Amino acid sequence: MVDLVVVGSVALDSVKTPFGDVKDILGGAATYSSVAASIFCKPGLVGVVGKDFPSEHMEFLRARNIETSGLSVAEGKTFRWSGYYEYDMNQAHTTDTQLNVFSSFKPKVPDAYLGAKYLFLANIDPVLQLDVLRQFKDLELVALDTMNFWIETKKEELLSVISKVDVLLINDAEARQLMDTPNLVRAARMLLKRGPSAVVIKKGEHGALLFTDGVCFFAPAYPLEDLKDPTGAGDSFAGGLMGYLASTGDVSFENMKRAVIYGSAVASFNAEDFSLDRLRQIGMKDVSGRYKEFEKLVEF
Amino acid sequence: MVDLVVVGSVALDSVKTPFGDVKDILGGAATYSSVAASIFCKPGLVGVVGKDFPSEHMEFLRARNIETSGLSVAEGKTFRWSGYYEYDMNQAHTTDTQLNVFSSFKPKVPDAYLGAKYLFLANIDPVLQLDVLRQFKDLELVALDTMNFWIETKKEELLSVISKVDVLLINDAEARQLMDTPNLVRAARMLLKRGPSAVVIKKGEHGALLFTDGVCFFAPAYPLEDLKDPTGAGDSFAGGLMGYLASTGDVSFENMKRAVIYGSAVASFNAEDFSLDRLRQIGMKDVSGRYKEFEKLVEF
């Protein structure tokens, strides 16, 4: 039984940061999200990889209790992303994107996933996000992430799928861009009018803001002294958030605040090492410990 | 009886933001700080203005219960700063600075101020900051603010005065620059080793971090929908923080956390209008109301 369905990219990344340089390591929004979610619940992954996808990665996902029957293996090469970070690690610089098998990705949700009540549409073409959403009948909560590329190339389609989801996850620059206002609070209020009952503005190292009708909650980022690679921070944040919601079955605002903190906790671990290397080592006990540190961090 | 002495610039500013354009309005770090502090305690101002300083500004300061015997009036013109903000209002762009009477400023603390237990050295030449500090004998707590200009031109003098204060207030970019590390947490820890028992990292619209030995506290910025002019945000933050500490006489970490929130509350009001126009309208009741909103903002 799958608790949470995650749809998005599974990739092989090449990443350079001031702290190291790695090639063809496990990455992709759906990978980070589902591994983060697997700390809390049983995720089912929907995505595509090429024949070159190392079997050890597939085994790792399964060992994390992630259902992979929705992860198809297609002729060709796995999606690849290359990028680097300078000293300001809040900003990723993309040097190369090879869509490969991802270019003809038509997400098909396996029947075994259709009983899930929670769906996370990670950053992919909004037309595909809408197509996936339509394959479900009885969802409790749907969250969606996106990126500037879709705002610039498929704004109408993006706004259409946004109107059908419960939670929109979006970074600060994208929220401003999508609503065409420099003010983040106004952008969030305008986005709420587009349909979602909650908007989560991701500000990277500056934390996250959760907006619902008339209420705002702020979660700081964990102050990390050893940050090695921020790749996947937003995705592991979303996965932690959705995994916690799915595990508790409680979508109240009070519980959503806790979910944002759990997401922030998982994301902070993720940035401590390259790829999913830090997430491989942690479990619920570590995340709970960091959750308590967040309580102390903001308590006055 | 003065509770808190504030030393720094009193200026006439010309400011342009996406929301307006004003000329020769009341400004200056010591002005913002002392007016903010006056919500909580009786500040004494040390600074210099020229013969052209409008008498209405002097009357306003006195009406706010600010002691002005330390604000000397010199032959010449008042210090002037001109700058503008683009849509990203976290970044001020200076177009002109005319030091005028400020270029020969030799701060002299009036005897009537020397009984104060709290001292705020707003951003001026670190040599002058040290000179002011030496005029006091029995202080409870000294805080210091600075800027990149002094890091670049008088780093040794700045580190020397930093070694003698209790609280260092510094923005994120300057903390990284001064300690030559991209990591903010590491920069804060390194600064703590230089002498202060507390370091407050100001991140503008992204809030503030308070570090003491082994402990960290995070205060968000208030999510403002109507931000008109961020000039003086850092100064009114410092003034609110120091005014609250001076009014309570409690320099414990627990109380310092509350002081950071009070500072954030005052700074958020200040950004709602140009110059000190918003601070002119508010009192303790407004600040207490916003303090409660901060509690709700981070509570989970």
Annotated domain spans of chain B: 4-298
Q: Nearest C-alpha of chain B: how many angstroms from A216?
A: 6
Q: Which of A286, A285, A294 is nearest to A257 (CA)?
A: A294
pLDDT tens for each residue of B166-213? 999 999 999 999 999 989 999 999 999 999 999 999 999 999 999 999
Q: Nearest C-alpha of chain A: how many angstroms from B16?
A: 16
- Name the closest residue on chain A to residue B189, using Cα atoms: A225
In whole angstroms, give the CA distance from residue B145 to residue B120: 8
Angle at B289 between CA B284 and CA B291, to 5 degrees: 90
The answer to whether the CB atoms of B182 and A89 lie below 8 A apart is yes
- Name the closest residue on chain B to residue A86, using Cα atoms: B182
Q: Which token pair is A77?
A: 């090469």
Q: Which token pair is B133?
A: 């500090």
Does the pLDDT of residue B74 top 90, yes or no?
yes
Q: Which residues of A are less than 8 Å from B260 in CB distance?
A: 300
Does the pLDDT of residue B271 top 90, yes or no?
yes
Q: What is the mean pLDDT of chain B?
A: 96
Q: Which token pair is B252?
A: 């414990």
Q: Which of B167, B22, B172, B11 is nearest to B91 (CA)?
A: B172
Residue A51 CB: number of other CB atoms within 10 A?
11
| Host H or E run for residue A25 | strand A20-27
Strand order in the sheet with A67-74: A67-74, A43-50, A4-7, A118-121, A141-145, A167-171, A198-202, A208-212, A215-219
Q: Which of B246, B239, B245 is nearest to B259 (CA)?
A: B245
In whole angstroms, give the CA distance from residue B8 to residue B200: 19
- Residue A216 neighbours by CB under 8 Å, 6+ apart: A185, A188, A209, A210, B223, B297
- Name the closest residue on chain B to residue A87, using Cα atoms: B182
The answer to whether the CB atoms of A220 and B217 lie below 8 A apart is no
Place domain B4-298 in its CATH homologous superfamily. Ribokinase (3.40.1190.20)
pLDDT tens for each residue of B210-244? 999 989 999 999 999 989 999 999 999 999 999 99
Write down the pLDDT at residue B223: 95
Write down the pLDDT at residue A90: 79
Q: Where are the beta strands (DSSP E) in A75-152?
A: 80-85, 92-98, 118-121, 141-145
- Residue A202 neighbours by CB under 8 Å, 6+ apart: A169, A170, A171, A172, A208, A234, A237
Write down the pLDDT at residue B197: 98
The answer to whether the CB atoms of A300 and B219 lie below 8 A apart is yes
Residue B210 in 3-state DSSP?
strand
Band of residue B90 on the pLDDT scale cut at 50, 70, 90? confident
Helices (DSSP H) in A66-194: which residue ranges?
126-134, 148-153, 155-162, 172-179, 184-192
Yes or no: say if B235 and B32 are a contact pair by the CB < 8 Å rule.
yes
Counting Cα atoms < 13 Å in the Cβ hemisphere of A39 gives: 32
Does the pLDDT of residue B88 top 80, yes or no?
no
Write down the pLDDT at residue B226: 87
The answer to whether the CB atoms of B218 and A216 lie below 8 A apart is no
At B107, which amino acid appears? Answer: P
Yes or no: say if B259 and B244 are a contact pair by the CB < 8 Å rule.
yes
Q: Nearest C-alpha of chain A: how many angstroms from B223?
A: 6
Write down the pLDDT at residue A88: 75
Give the ipTM of the model, two decimals please: 0.92
Q: What percentage of chain A carries pLDDT values higher than 90?
A: 95
Write down the pLDDT at residue A230: 94
In whole angstroms, give the CA distance from residue A192 to residue A201: 12
In whole angstroms, give the CA distance from residue A266 to residue A105: 28
Band of residue B87 on the pLDDT scale cut at 50, 70, 90? confident
Yes or no: say if A252 and A139 are a contact pair by the CB < 8 Å rule.
no
Residue A283 in 3-state DSSP?
coil
Yes or no: say if B121 and B143 are a contact pair by the CB < 8 Å rule.
yes
- Residue A285 neighbours by CB under 8 Å, 6+ apart: none
Low-confidence ranges of chain A (pLDDT < 50): none
Band of residue B89 on the pLDDT scale cut at 50, 70, 90? confident
